[in-house]
Amino acid sequence: MSKVIEVKNVSKRYKLYRNTKERLLSIFNRDKYGEEFYALDNVNFSAEEGDVVGFIGTNGSGKSTLSNIISGIVPETSGEVHTRGNVMLIAVAAGLNNDLTGRENIELKCLMLGFSKQEIKELEPEIIEFSELGTFIDQPVKSYSSGMKSRLGFAISVSVNPDILIIDEALSVGDKAFAEKSLAKMKEFKEQGKTMIFVSHSISQMKQFCDKILWLEFGKVKAYGEKDEVLRLYESFLNKWSNMKKSERDEYREQLSKTRATYEVQLENEALTVYKTGKIDISHTSELEIKPVSRIAHIKAGNSKIYESPGNVQSSFSSASYKNKSYFITRTANYNYEDFYLLSDEKSSTEKVIGWMKASEIQHRGYAEVESTNKIFILNGKGNGYSRPWGGKKQLFPGSMKKYKNQEFKVKKIVMIAKTPWYFGEIDGIEFWVHNNIIINTEGD
């Protein structure tokens, strides 16, 4: 699938002033007055066609800022944002003129999107019906409640059939029935393969609707990946956050909100080295937390980098020659609030280590050994065999299963890749791995 949204090294910087006088003086000397504040700091992520990405994070984490930048409402200070197709942002009162009626707002917004008068006339009844505003459609929007504004904005946005839909807390206001109706419409868009971003504090809605989650915390990316894994980490964080005292929260926020220059100097002054051999020096790890992990991965693109230590750009090399294979992930680390994984050719952190990669640049799944067994299965002749579970093109072995159709496959080991079983077995002395969908369980379990 092709990328529909690409956010590369995006930062959004504001100046905070103590009073009006300081703000006026900054016109003549911008560098002297005001304190720099990063609403977003070096954010990277991408979404492919059909992805539904949830933005999560505590208040002030930068979710709405990033949504506004992607939709083109707010410019980024640095970095790049690329989108393919027309983007619609649905937020409470977003793009609505308070002095106009609901009907006039429909016409104005559709005209701005390039619709003709005739097309708007045909769309209008559908928009009004979906919004459920009834006679209020001819009242000024400034008289609407927040829920009514959200209804109107949502109805307009979904009716114009955008390529990319961004929903920013639009379902957090109004009644439950309309929220369920809106979710149903979003599911319809999802089935059509549209790309969506969903900003919400509702974890239950995230679990129900999203495929991937981007976790932001005070402008920095904490994690980006499959919803189950990231939401598990986020819920664990929320439990800790809710038990923090105000002073502890302020200290945490201050640590995360440091400018990049200060933070990078601090890291350079700490001897944080993780060698390519896998021998990990964690004698100074106040900022680098390394944990064991059991996962398996594919490299997404050959233009990405492999690092000898997390984030160390001075000691990195191209991942191009490592594509089309699966690797074991043995360690995870968080550097500058970005997750890195240690890739290895073996299930070891000391032997055949490849190096560290950004979590956002690899596809990864949970890996767990289920059992050793001596069961007999039948191959249905579909798919391929691999030298490694969840293998790539370079790990095809012995290739197509057509020649083994209806033959007995002696299974020796079963592992789970995410929620899918993979089987390691033997035919005629040849050992290889096969996916769950190409075997027939003769035992009926």
- Whole-angstrom distance, CA of residue 61 vs CA of residue 1: 29
**Model pLDDT, residue 410:** 92
CB 390 within 8 A of CB 438: no
Is 165:90 a contact under the CB 8 Å cutoff?
yes
Give the pLDDT of residue 313: 61
Alpha-carbon gap, residue 332 to 223, rounded angstroms: 12
**What residue segments make up the domains of the chain, in order of their start?**
3-231, 272-366, 367-440
β-bridge partners, 372: 413
Q: What is the pLDDT of residue 445?
A: 44
212 CB-side CA count, 13 A:
21
Other CB atoms closer than 10 Å to residue 416's CB: what's the count?
Answer: 16
Question: Residue 238 — φ and ψ, nearest 5°?
Answer: -60, -35
Longest dimension (CA), the chain: 85
Strand partners of residue 399? 385
**137 SS3 class:** helix
Q: pTM of the full predicted structure? A: 0.53
Q: DSSP secondary-structure letter at 37?
A: E
Give pLDDT, residue 171.
60
Residue 108 to residues 36, 44, 97, 291, Cα–Cα distance (Å): 37, 34, 9, 54
Q: Which CATH class is domain 272-366?
A: mainly beta
pLDDT of residue 172: 56
pLDDT at 74: 85
Give me the pLDDT at residue 280, please.
31
Q: Strands 35-48 and 289-299: what pairing? A: unpaired
Give the pLDDT confidence score for residue 101 in this predicted structure: 92
Show the tokens assigned to 363.
């596809």
Write down the CATH superfamily of domain 3-231.
P-loop containing nucleotide triphosphate hydrolases (3.40.50.300)
For the beta carbon of residue 77, count every other beta carbon within 10 angstroms.
15
Pairing of strands 362-379, 289-299: antiparallel
d(CA 344, CA 329): 6
Phi/psi at 343 (5° precision): -95, 140
Radius of gyration, alpha carbons of the chain: 26
What is the residue whose two structure tokens read 């490592």? 322
Looking at residue 431, its pLDDT comes to: 94
Bridge partner list, 424: 413, 433
Strand, coil or helix: what is 433? strand
3-state DSSP of 314-353: HHEEECHHHCCCEEEEEEEEEECCEEEEEEECCCCCCCCE
Q: Do 272-366 and 367-440 fold alike per CATH? A: yes
Amino acid identity of 112?
A: M
The CATH architecture annotation of domain 367-440 reads Roll (2.30)
Phi, psi of 377 (to 5 degrees): -125, 165
Residue 334, pLDDT score = 80
| pLDDT tens by residue, the chain, 445 residues | 578 899 998 999 887 777 777 777 777 776 677 777 788 888 998 888 888 899 998 888 888 889 889 988 888 988 899 988 888 777 655 567 888 899 998 888 788 777 788 888 888 998 898 888 888 999 998 888 877 887 888 888 778 778 888 887 656 555 677 777 777 887 888 888 888 898 888 888 888 888 899 998 888 888 888 888 888 888 888 888 778 787 777 776 666 655 333 333 333 333 233 323 333 333 333 346 678 888 999 998 777 889 888 866 667 888 888 899 999 998 888 876 678 899 998 887 677 888 899 988 999 998 988 877 788 899 999 999 999 999 999 999 998 999 999 999 999 999 999 888 999 999 988 999 999 889 887 554 4
Let me know: does 276 contact 350? Beta carbons within 8 Å: no
Are 68 and 94 in contact by the 8 Å Cβ rule? The answer is no
Q: Among all chains, which residue has been given the structure tokens 């909100």?
A: 257
In which residue are the tokens 């304190």 written? 35
- pLDDT tens per residue, range 35-93: 777 888 889 988 888 888 999 988 888 888 898 899 888 889 888 999 888 887 776 55
